[in-house]
Chain A
Amino acid sequence: MNTRLLMMLHVNVTTPQNVGAVPHGTRRIAPISGGVFEGTRLRGTVLPGGSADWLLRRADDVLEMDLRVTLRTHDGALISMRSFGLRHGPPDVIAAIGRGEPVNPATYYFRTTPRFQTAHPAYGFLNRLVAVASGDRRAEGPIYTIHELL
């Protein structure tokens, strides 16, 4: 798998909405109040409206993540990003994340697969790529290292 760095994305999550036990697992929604992204080809901020991570804790304790964020580049283009992801790890590590403690991201699995949509011609290359990301859950929100799949 050949990849190259696309950007680092920091998102800030606010108080989660605990929907609770649903037929597929335990549903929790983490609204996103903002954030920043930076790479050699694009940089900007995360818009708060319509950005959130729809989380589902499955019966096998794997956390499914369904993130949707709107990115605004420094030159005004809007980019819709969606990514599906999985997070799991040893119970003590996952518990520490839940308490908001700093945890070495190498000790758990947190991977996502972002896709992008934009109408802005300068960023049209994003419509034509598939990406993979590793996440680092911090107390204020995850940091994603996003790589373009070459």
Chain B
Amino acid sequence: MNSQPLMLLRLTTSPTEEVGATPHGTLSIFPVTGGSFEGERLRGKVLAGGGDWVTGKADETLELDLRVTLETDDGALIYMTFTGLRDDAHHYFRTLPRFETAASKYAFLNRLLAVGIGEIRTEGPVHIIEEIL
């Protein structure tokens, strides 16, 4: 499978909201307070208000469910979601981002699937996102 770089996404988060043990696992919500994204075709900032709903499962892996709004440097809004899997025991942190936008300049995002490689840094999560060609 071929891919090409789409963006580097940096998120900042506020303290986790620990919902606790639910029927599906242990739910932690990571509120997103901001961030930035940068790629050849788009760049801008992450708006506050999104989050990552993270469910810890019985096999020690984390199921990710993120929603954020991106604002490009020319004013377009892009709704981004991903589901993903984080397995710290195997150093595996992969996501499947999807995008929705009404801005014609960025409509290519509506038509692509992507994969992300995530990493937790001291300043917050960083995701290297590539378009699946």
Nearest-neighbour CB distance to chain B for A81, whole angstroms, equals 14
Which of the 9-residue segments A25-33, A68-76, A96-104, A105-113 touches chain B? A105-113
Task: Please classify how large the interface on chain A is, using the bins under 10, 10 to 19, 20 to 34, 35 or more.
Answer: 20 to 34
The reply on B52 being an interface residue by CB < 8 A is no
Contacts of B59 in A (CB 8 A): 124, 127-128
Asked whether any CB of chain A lies closer than 8 Å to the CB of B94, the reply is: yes
Complex Cα spacing A149 to B115, Å: 9
Residues from chain B with Cβ under 8 Å of A1 in the complex = 1-3, 115, 130, 132
Does B26 touch A at the CB level, under 8 Å?
A: no
Residue contact A129 to B132, C-beta cutoff 8 Å:
no
Q: Provide the residues of chain A in CB contact with B35, threshold 8 Å.
A: none
Given known A130-B95, A147-B1, contact A60–B132 (CB-CB < 8 A): no
> Nearest chain B CB to A148's CB is how many angstroms away?
10
| Per-residue interface assignment for chain B, residues 90 to 133, with 1 indicating a CB less than 8 Å from any chain A CB and 0 otherwise | 10101110100000000100111101000000000000001010
CB pair A109 B92 closer than 8 Å: no
- Report the bound CA distance from A147 to B54 in whole Å: 25
Q: Which residue of B lies closest to A130 (CB)?
A: B94
Chain B residues, Cβ within 8 Å of A84: 96, 98, 113
Q: Mark A108-149, 1 if CB is under 8 A from B, else 0.
A: 010111010000000010011110101000000000000101
6 smallest beta-carbon distances between A and B, as pairs: A1-B3, A130-B94, A113-B96, A111-B113, A3-B1, A147-B1
Give B contacts to A, CB under 8 Å: 1-3, 59, 61, 83-85, 87, 90, 92, 94-96, 98, 107, 110-113, 115, 130, 132
Q: Which residues of A contact B (CB under 8 A)?
A: 1, 3, 60, 62, 84-86, 88, 109, 111-113, 115, 124, 127-130, 132, 134, 147, 149
